[in-house]
A and B are shown apart, each in its own frame.
Chain A
Amino acid sequence: MAIRIETPLTEEKARALKSGDSVLLSGTVYTARDAAHKRIVEAMEAGKPLPFDPENAVVYYVGPTPAKPGQAIGSAGPTTSYRMDAYSPALIARGQRGMIGKGKRGPAVVEAIKQHGAVYFGAIGGAGALLSKCVRTAEVIAYDDLGAEAVRRLTVEDLPLTVVIDSEGNNLYETGREAYLAARQK
């Protein structure tokens, strides 16, 4: 049974989620991937304004395809998250509560998740056409020159996610595989 969650993702909501939970997320999420993360963290370090307030925000690592006429957004599945590992701890320290991507995270990110009560969600990699149906509105709010990598504000409805790393540091990429292999040996 999936858990319905709405943004803003407060620390209380984030801490209630457990690795392996299925979640349907609704509300506002911000898109950012490699180049946008670099700029956001540089802006933070320089004390400049940010494209969005990180406090209790959820960031989706995605660079969508262009919307066809009549679509809110083109295909919009997650990109591989480890490339954001250099930037995520700084954002989490500033209050960012949720990350949506796919693939492994480094120890510094896991530590930041535990320390600040954040959560790392997995969306299905390669399911861009399916996931785009959950996006109601999309608007570029910063770094337009980056094209697909620009920062967008999305309104999503029932975006299907899995809690991969929870606020205690439990990691589905480790436990899921172990559980499968253990069941296979029985």
Chain B
Amino acid sequence: MREIQASALTEVVKRLCIEANCHLPKDMQARITEARAGEDWPGACEILDRIIENYTIADERSVPICQDTGVACVFLEIGQDVHVSGSIADAVNEGVRQGYSEGYLRKSVVRDPLNRVNTGDNTPAMLYYDLVPGYAIRITVAPKGFGSENMSQLKMLKPSDGVEGAKEFIVRVVEEAGPNPCPPIVVGVGIGGTFDKCALLAKKALMRSTDERNPDPYYAALEAELLARINALGVGPQGFGGKTTALAVNIETAPTHIAGLPVAVNINCHVTRHKSEVL
């Protein structure tokens, strides 16, 4: 049994909040650069150039890439042989509080969804726990902007809808979103599970590096096919037309019920941010 003080999480979460918001992950930089090289529509080229200039400025000056520094989604993979002393949730929220204050990040969370008063410190985090074998805690902070979150959808398809029904739904969600989620986007897809599990799969799909394809060749091929279909829509960067509507489609799946085929599409923008550290 390894003992970890909950307060140790605070420092890590604080640092990850700031770094994730200012430094675009290398895989995303690679996808955007590749897209620019493959784009031939003049307006689209200009926008991609500006997007590259933007993340370069943010990186060099350590300022937020986007003003929507998001709600802090925090994923903890906790080793079963770790014992944490103190409140994990309090320690994580303290890290968010410090990170969003010291990092000059925007406070974008309201305490109540209908009465809408800003909490002033971007807490609470959206906190998820997974128990895994081992003696370590893996902490991932994924700030999530809501321009793209608002364009996400979930549908309980019928088993008879099959893969064609799933593809049609996924492409339609992206087309309906059009310019709103700041294309080029990353498309996180969850297939299977229950209503809630499916949505979480889609969120987790956005945290997989765009360098990696689904390990199952069937789903890797489906990711490639969906990316091609989405980029044939012509929405383009910012929705002004062009080849580059999406930079990647990441699919995660889970077993599901004999009666169901849940499909969730969680959209993220060209500022798809996440950073992990192991404690």
Which A residues fall within an 8 A CB radius of B? 35, 62-68, 71, 74-77, 79-80, 82, 102-104, 122, 124-133, 146-149, 160, 162, 172-173, 176-181, 183-184
Q: How many residues of chain B get a CB closer than 8 Å to chain A's CBs?
A: 48
In chain B, positions 45-70 with a C-beta closer than 8 Å to chain A are 47, 50-51, 53-55, 57-58, 61, 63-69
Contact of A125 among B63, B69, B243, B269 (CB under 8 A): B269
| B7, CB-defined interface residue at 8 Å | no
Q: Count the A-B residue pairs with Cβ separation under 8 angstroms: how many?
A: 151
The reply on B210 being an interface residue by CB < 8 A is no
Taken together as a complex, chains A and B put the C-alpha atoms of A130 and B120 apart, in Å, by 25
Assembled-state Cα–Cα distance A126/B186 (Å) = 13
Q: Across the interface, do B238 and A75 meet the contact criterion of CB distance under 8 Å? A: no
Interface residues of B in 66-109 (CB under 8 A from A): 66-69, 104-108
Minimum Cβ distance to chain A for residue B148 (Å):
9
Q: Which of A129, A131, A177 contacts B241 (CB 8 A)?
A: A177
Contacts of B55 in A (CB 8 A): 129
Give A92 to B261 CA distance when docked, in angstroms: 46
Say which residue of B58, B178, B240 sits within 8 Å of A75 (CB atoms). Answer: B58
Grouping DSSP codes into helix (H, G, I), strand (E, B) and loop, the A interface class, with mixed when no group exceeds half, is mixed
- Report the minimal beta-carbon distance from A61 to chain B, rounded to whole angstroms: 11
Given contact pairs A103-B180, A176-B239, A147 touches B118 in the complex (Cβ within 8 A): yes
The interface residues of chain B lying within 8 Å CB-to-CB of A178 are: 234, 241
Do A129 and B242 touch (CB < 8 A)?
A: no
- A75 and B67 within 8 A (CB): yes
B141 within 8 A of A: no
10 extra A-B contacts, CB within 8 A, seeds A148-B107, A173-B179, A177-B241 = A63-B68, A66-B106, A80-B150, A102-B147, A103-B180, A126-B66, A129-B58, A133-B57, A176-B241, A177-B239
